Amino acid sequence: MTEDVFKALADPNRRRILDGLAERNGQSLFEICARLTTRHGLALSRQAVSQHLAVLEAAGLVTTRREGRYKFHDLNTEPLEHIVTRWLGPKDPENTP
């Protein structure tokens, strides 16, 4: 799963999507596309953004929920927290110089 996270984070457009969700969770595809256009000047198609969201969801970085006809996307930081604690987590006091 960690490999999927790194692959998902490798693309700058996916990182921009995550940045937008970090600012405000629960965005629809339309809202994400609009933010990418207004904040970053990216004119990605809805299909392209949807494909990026699918990669992020497969990596566990984005969760989705449906409310009626709408699908909302939320940032899931758990996979990132796992990576951080793996390398930057608590040190073993017995082996610390």
Predicted pLDDT of residue 94:
63
pLDDT for residue 96: 53
Distance CA 53, CA 63 (A): 9
CA distance 17 to 52: 8
Total domains present in the chain:
1
Tens of pLDDT, residue by residue, the chain (97 residues): 678 999 999 999 999 999 999 999 999 999 999 999 999 999 899 999 999 999 999 999 999 999 999 999 999 999 998 888 888 877 665 655 5
Nearest CA to 79 out of 11, 13, 18 is that of 18
Hey, how many other C-beta atoms are within 10 angstroms of the C-beta on 23? Answer: 11
What is the span of the domain harbouring residue 67? Answer: 2-87
Q: Give the bridge partners for 66, in sequence order.
A: 71
Query: Which pLDDT does position 49 carry in this prediction?
Result: 97
Domain annotation covers residue 58: yes
Alpha helices in 1-97 (DSSP H): 2-9, 12-23, 29-40, 46-58, 78-88
Q: What is the CATH number of the domain that holds 26?
A: 1.10.10.10
How far apart CA 11 and CA 28 sit, in angstroms, is 20
Model pTM? 0.84
Q: Does residue 95 belong to any structural domain of this protein?
A: no
97 belongs to a structural domain = no
Report yes or no on 92 lying in a domain: no
In-domain check, residue 96: no
Q: What pLDDT sits at residue 3?
A: 86
In a domain, 94, yes or no: no
